[in-house]
Amino acid sequence: MAAKGKRYVDATKKYDRDQLFGPGEAMEILSGLPSAKYDESVDVVIRLGVDPRKADQIVRGTVAMPEGTGKTVRVAVFAKGEAATAAKDAGADIVGADELVAEVEGGMLDFDIAIAAPDMMAQVGKLGRVLGPRGLMPNPKTGTVTPDVANAVTQFKGGTVEYRTDRFANVHVSIGKKSFSADSLHRNLSALVDELNRVKPASAKGRYMKKASVSSTMGPGIKLDPTRLDEEPA
């Protein structure tokens, strides 16, 4: 497998894979690992002490990455009239109403984020089986169903990302690119940790942040010390 090639194996020898690191240390290690031939994404996985089978313990929302994500985000907006015009002016890649609903229903999924004006949700709701499995369904909890579609476009283009617990209570978020400095990656991680602490369910018992790791797309995982995740960047 390519992911377990020489570069990967060499990377695993540069640190103790069983050790738990503070976020600053982990980002320094990651920045010093061999790079692939492209600018890899840097992803964090945090296991939360919640039961995602219970509606009141699903952790979901959006967080603005202060250093951006390094990604070009293609945004589709379901809107008509003035809202559609505002979305286009804000830089949305695809804007439409009924015709866009029909295109998506036909399999057009050339976007990373879908935003909808509230008056479009009756039609957009029909796309649940298409958008839902891909995590693209607009939702008020993530700010993707909003009367201010232009502001939402600006936010998601500028580095706001969605997060939510999966069925194993993991939150998986891309916090930047391998080319980012260790400090920039740490600042983005801190923003995510602060947000997750802010939305901690009242009914969650025991330790909230149980496990965490960070890795680049093609690199090995670096274990983070969950008790040190809230350490501030230098």
**Which tens digits make up the pLDDT trace of 84-125?**
999 999 999 999 999 999 999 999 999 999 999 999 999 999
What would the pLDDT profile of 118-153 be if each residue is shown by its tens digit? Answer: 999 999 999 999 999 998 999 998 999 999 999 999
Q: Residues spanned by CATH 3.30.190.20 within the chain?
A: 16-69+161-228
d(CA 115, CA 75): 7
CATH architecture for segment(s) 16-69+161-228: 2-Layer Sandwich (3.30)
The whole-angstrom separation of Cα 209 and Cα 75 is: 31
Low-confidence stretches of the chain (pLDDT < 70) are: 1-4
Q: Of 73, 71, 130, give the one whose Cα is nearest residue 100.
A: 130
Largest Cα separation within the chain, whole Å, is: 58
Architecture of the 75-157 domain: 3-Layer(aba) Sandwich (3.40)
Query: What pLDDT score was predicted for residue 11?
Result: 74
- All CATH 3.40.50.790 domain ranges of the chain, comma separated, are 75-157
- Where helices occur in 69-199 by DSSP H, the ranges are 81-89, 98-105, 121-124, 128-131, 149-157, 182-198
Distances 204 to 36, 55, 214, 223 between C-alpha atoms, Å: 39, 12, 24, 23
- Strand order from edge to edge, sheet including 94-96: 94-96, 75-78, 113-116
Q: Is the dihedral of CA 110, 138, 63, 94 positive or negative?
A: positive
The pLDDT of residue 2: 44
How many CA atoms lie within 13 Å of 28's alpha carbon, on the beta-carbon side? Answer: 8
